[in-house]
Amino acid sequence: MKLVIAVVQDKDSGRLLGALVDRGHSATKLASTGGFLREGNTTLLIGVEDSEVEDVLRLIGEVCQSRQQMVNPMPPAAGQVESYMTYPVEVTVGGATVFVLDVERFAKF
């Protein structure tokens, strides 16, 4: 058995959860925050049999496409806010960061 940990953008999480359920997979949804843009992410914990890993990875790749977005960078330290000028920059958002871990034991009570 494997544990798939997928960190996805909040905007993609609803569609991904729906697609996982449609294919018979269950997931636990955790709220998380990205370190670079400091925006909301969703971390999904998905337990699957070894033979289902590729199907889940393919599904994540189909639903969580990366895209370009204009964002205003956050100011550095709070003391320097007055002199800090922010200009919108284009960054790549979306996609997914995925970890696949071996599971020694699984129990559901």
- Per-residue tens of pLDDT for the chain, all 109 residues: 999 999 998 889 999 999 999 999 999 999 987 766 567 789 999 999 999 999 999 999 999 987 777 777 666 555 555 555 677 777 766 789 999 999 999 888 9
Do the beta carbons of residue 27 and residue 46 sit within 8 Å?
Answer: yes
- Residue 82's pLDDT is 58
- Residue 87's pLDDT is 77
Write the CATH number of the domain with boundaries 2-73+88-102: 3.30.70.120
For residue 81, what are the CA distances in angstroms to 35, 37, 73, 89?
19, 17, 12, 18
- Residue 24's pLDDT is 94
